[in-house]
Amino acid sequence: MRNLVNIGDMSKSWWDGLYSRCCDIIERPGDFVDSCRGKVLASLFFEPSTRTNFSFQAACMRLGGSVFGFSNPLETSVSKGETLADTIRVASCYADTVVIRSPLEGAATAAALYSEVPVINAGDGGHFHPTQTLADLTTIARYRGGIGGFCIGLCGDLKYGRTVHSLIMALSHFFEISFCLISPPELRAPQYMLDFMREHGQQYIEVERLDECLGMLDILYMTRVQSERFTDKSEYENVRGVYVLTKSLLDGAKRDMIVMHPLPRDGEIAPEVDADSRAVYFEQARNGMFIRMALLLEFLHAPRQMPGLTPAGGLFECVNEVCVTRKERYLPPLRSSGGDDRCGYCDKNIVY
């Protein structure tokens, strides 16, 4: 795999190799302390982050590599009008791999068009977050002994929750997994994700109350309602705090169920739950560092290559206001693998 911008590009065999490497790192970390000596990671965070940013930096340094980058684009030439393409071209001159987070959906796809080195998507708006999904898969595999044969509840913001979207796509590679999609009507999973689940034979039900399906779950994946994704703040206030996992609510769950969360949390998991043996979200964060180490071992050593830009075709305008094409107007049109009527950057519908 050259880039990791969409978890849908992952194959089962690639995951198996990556996870095996991750387990080796966890068991024998001393064997890898100089494995990326002299390699450089560019960390380009156009949006705030704690875990993902720190995790990538820690992963690279634990491998003996170095990191440069920014976490505030206003302190870079972006504030002077520099395009994403030029930022990526310059960063890839200095680095061996580029990690990018952006509030614009499809930004990582756009970055990969112009980079001479591998690009890793650290989150693009409400679209995808593939390396968080790698951390999720690692956590599930280590706690359950493998991936498959379970019912998982995805609770909270399923509309803008990029971690949820990526996890659904990744789990399509595994068998005997059913989903309980728990959200208010305003935050239901987007249609393109429901279409994906149907196309891949994933069994799911949609409910509005957590207690409707809590007792059947093997994994509960809680998510934060993301205020930064709402253009109308009154809509955010209407759904804020709709789900709160408490210790008393957990009494109705299986004793071996695990509770996951990509973090940060904002009240949807009560602090009292932290002491419950089923709460694994802080270990999930630690697993994120190890699986990113395994990923960087592969990507930092990849050869440089000139990008092959997609030629300009028929013009279109994506209806998604936060699609990268709405800001970076020079981008060539791309069609989604999900259909010619969808934008290849953000998967939303196209207007011709």
Together in a domain, 218 and 349: no
- Residues 53 and 76 grouped into a single domain: yes
- The tokens of 280 are what? 């694994």
Amino acid identity at 141: A
Q: Which of 39, 48, 26, 28 is nearest to 102 (CA)?
A: 48
68 falls within a domain: yes
C-alpha triplet 90, 91, 96: angle, nearest 5° = 130
Q: Rounded to whole angstroms, how far apart are CA atoms 86 and 340?
A: 28
What is the distance between the alpha carbons of residues 38 and 298, in angstroms, rounded to a whole number?
15
Number of domains in the chain: 3
Closest CA to 35 of 284, 299, 285, 287: 299
Q: What is the CATH number of the domain that holds 70?
A: 3.40.50.1370
Same domain, 155 and 194: yes
Residue 283 lies in a domain: no
Same domain, 144 and 240: yes
Same-domain check for residues 151 and 233: yes
The structure's pTM equals 0.91
Please count the other Cβ atoms lying within 10 Å of the Cβ belonging to residue 205.
14
Angle at 138 between CA 4 and CA 282, to 5 degrees: 110
Tens of pLDDT along the chain (352 residues)? 899 999 988 999 999 999 999 999 999 999 999 999 999 999 999 998 888 999 999 999 999 999 999 988 888 888 899 999 999 999 999 999 999 999 999 999 999 999 999 999 999 988 889 999 999 999 999 999 999 999 999 999 998 888 999 999 999 999 999 999 999 888 899 988 999 999 999 999 999 999 999 999 999 999 987 655 555 555 555 656 678 999 999 999 999 999 999 998 888 999 999 999 999 999 999 999 999 999 999 999 999 998 876 555 455 678 889 999 999 989 988 877 655 678 999 988 776 5
Distance CA 26, CA 29 (A): 6
Same domain, 198 and 114: no
User: What is the Cβ-side half-sphere exposure of residue 332, based on CA atoms within 13 angstroms?
Assistant: 12
Q: Is residue 152 included in any domain, yes or no?
A: yes
Q: CA-to-CA distance for 51 and 284, rounded, in angstroms?
A: 11
Residue 54 lies in a domain: yes
Same domain, 153 and 263: yes
Range of the structural domain that residue 95 is part of? 7-125+288-309
What whole-number distance in Å separates Cα of residue 328 and Cα of residue 146?
A: 42
Structure tokens at 142: 């280590």
Hey, what are 303's tokens? Answer: 């050869």
